[in-house]
Structure 1
Amino acid sequence: MESNNNNNNNNATQGTYSTERMGESSRMFISHIKQYFASLPIFALFVIAISWLIALADVPGRMTQSHMPLISQWLYLSVNKVLSHWQGHRILLYPLASPGFSLLITNTLLTLPYMAAMERKHGTLKLAWLLITFYTCGIGLVYIVLLGIFRTSTVWIESSYVAGLSGWAVALSVWSAMEDESEGQSNDRMLFGVIRIPGRVMPYLIIAFYLFLVPDTSLLLHLLAAGVAFLYFTKRIPARFLPSDDMYKHYEGRTWLERITSSTRFVSMDAATSGYLPIHNATSSHISTPAVSHNVNVGGFPGQGQRLGDE
């Protein structure tokens, strides 16, 4: 009887200890998530927040017999809607359309780290301009034109549509990988926060992931996104379409943007260009060691030091 009681006490103690460990791990995880979102730049946080709010607002419509989302049905990119119904706003707003919760989670995990890092590195206004103009409207226009050419001969084009941030995920991964490589960095990336992948391989994996595991997404749009990112990084986009850094700084000082630029989450051009410190891995060839002074007064010796071998 006594041994049974001891075993029961030991089991109870182990169970309590395991519960405490699980509780501590959960608290640490929640604390890490809160800290991560508290440090997000303003544009990255805004885009993700709006995407999730639209997805939540779509739920009542998805629960009806038509399964038609309430808001996203007016946002997704469709050749038929743009060319036949003249709904040009879709070329601008389709990244915010909800493709469903499972794909929304995937897009968030793939897009948010790149978007936050590039905003800290290049500034809020610059990243917002590039994403909205080239990586959204530019890609959307080319997509509509290419599909519109074959619209009359292919039936499935009429019903095809694009929604979500997958195009941004591809474009940002290509841009980031090329930029890191040009700077001599070999920053690894965490796929879904779990699997460590070399940064230069990530764009290929992301495109392959969407192609084979998410068949509802558009391979054409992803290839266009990768192509535009390549053209931008290699400076093959005409300079007249790219505002200068001074232009961004000019708009940062405008009074009508003061409520945004005064936010602690806003990343100005000065903070982006002077405050960004690249993180090097051990494999990087650009690691530098701090200079060590040879005139160190050890132990508070009051006299003038003399090195061994000096005469």
Structure 2
Amino acid sequence: MALGIQLPDARRIRSFFIRLPLATRLLLLVLTAVWIATLFTPKLEPWGALIPQEIGLATLYRLNTFPLLHKNFLHFLLNTIALIPLLERFESEHGTIVTTLLFTGAFGYLPGGLYTLLEVFIFRSNSAAVGASVWVFLLLSTEAIKTYRQNPNFTIAGYSIPTWTTPLFIMFVIHFLVPQTSLLGHLCGAGVGYLWGLGYIRFLAPSEKILRWIEGKLDLLGRIPHYVSVDQKTYGRYGVLPSTSTGGPRVGPGRGAMGAVDGTPIGPVGSTQRLGP
């Protein structure tokens, strides 16, 4: 008798990975490479882990390396599965350059620095932290703020609960069910995510005007596969797609825009709205 268990569609999984944008692909590659490296270099984890008492001018790199390290394969697998869809959505919204800069800079040293300060000066402890779950809760918190603006509350057993608290609920459940998880580290990641979602630290991202100039000057959208433009309201996720027009020849910006071919003017017409997710 066959069991009524439906396996995941391999075609959908393959399609999801094929559609991953550039920065998400690179981070997935780095996370995997670091995990493999730890199998052959056991000293890599103590070298890159966030150990509060070890933080100094010469070891500030730990604030950015600790999310890349994991204690075991299950830790790596669960964090990666949770992170990639959230990161893909973030990059699709903010662009490849912004995502790359934030996740190699501010989204590491802000939660890592906050964790270090709280451990040293408040809790007087020296608990080491590793894992990309700090990024998972950071991104969950940004999504929770967006959800809160559209749907402020949800109801459970007659109680109205703010939607922005969802990451906190998940965090405490994981803390009680999964041993050796860092509740403080997750809280620090969530705190930075809330600040980003509320717009208080958006200044950490470069100016869109500068990024548009760089993208246009280097033709990044046309040259680099899976690149996501910062100016998606004008060009869409993968640029403006060609379409027929009854007007004269027109050349539009972005990948696929072209002029007249065989006397038939081709170019973007109508509104250049955002394409893709």
Fold shared by both chains (TM-score > 0.5): yes
Of 223, 226, 229, the residue aligned with 2:190 is: 226
CA distance in 1, matches of 2:39, 2:171: 28
What corresponds to 1:110 in structure 2?
82
Q: Which amino acid aligns with 1:178?
A: I
Which residues of 2 match residues 34-183 of structure 1 at below 5 A? 34-61=14-41, 69-83=42-56, 86-150=58-122, 154=124, 157-158=125-126, 160-182=127-149
Contact 1:57 1:70 in 2 (8 A): no
What is the match of residue 270 of structure 1?
Answer: 231
Displacement of 1:150: 4.8
1:215–1:204 Cα change, 3 Å: same
Task: Give the aligned partner of residue 9 of structure 1.
Answer: none
Instruction: Give the CA deviation at 1:40.
Output: 0.6
Residue aligning to 1:247: 210
Shift of the 101–230 alpha-carbon distance from structure 1 to 2, 3 Å rule, reads same
Whose helix fraction is larger, Structure 1's or Structure 2's? 1
Q: 1:149 Cα deviation (Å)?
A: 1.8
1:216–1:261 CA distance, 2 compared to 1 (3 A): farther
1:183-204 C-alpha deviation (Å, 9 max, x unpaired): x379xxxxxxxxxxx9756413
Q: RCO (CA 8 Å, sep 6+): is it higher in 1 or 2?
A: 1
Q: Shift of the alpha carbon at 1:171? A: 0.8
> How far has the Cα of 1:90 moved from its partner?
0.7
Q: Matches of 1:250 and 1:209 in 2, distance apart?
A: 45
Question: Relative to structure 1, is the Cα distance of residues 253 and 147 closer, same or farther in structure 2, using a 3 angstrom cutoff?
Answer: farther
1:123: how far off?
0.9
Tell which structure's C-alpha radius of gyration is larger.
Answer: 1
C-alpha change, 1:144 and 1:268, in structure 2 (3 Å) is same
The CA distance in 2 between the partners of 1:101 and 1:272, in whole Å, is: 40
**Aligned equivalents of 2:235 and 2:88: distance in 1?**
17
User: 2: CA distance between counterparts of 1:136 and 1:273?
Assistant: 30
Q: How many Å apart are 1:52 and its aligned residue?
A: 1.4
> Match for 1:145: what amino acid?
L
5+ residue gaps, structure 1: 1-13, 62-68, 187-197, 277-311
How much has 1:112 moved relative to structure 2?
1.1
Residues 42 and 266, structure 1, Cα contact 8 Å, conserved in 2: yes
Q: Given that residues 111 and 185 in structure 2 are in contact (C-alpha distance below 8 angstroms), is that contact kept between their aligned partners in structure 1?
A: yes
Between the aligned residues of both structures, percent identity stands at 25
The secondary structure found in structure 1 opposite 2:90 is helix
* CA distance 1:164–1:121, shift in 2 (3 Å): same
CA shift, 1:272, in A, is: 6.2
SS at match of 1:236: coil
Q: Is the 8 A contact 1:120 1:272 kept in 2?
A: no
Q: Could you tell me which amino acid in structure 1 is paired with residue 192 of structure 2?
A: V
Aligned residues: 229
Cα distance in 1 for residues equivalent to 2:29 and 2:186? 23
- Provide the TM-score with structure 2 as the length reference: 0.70
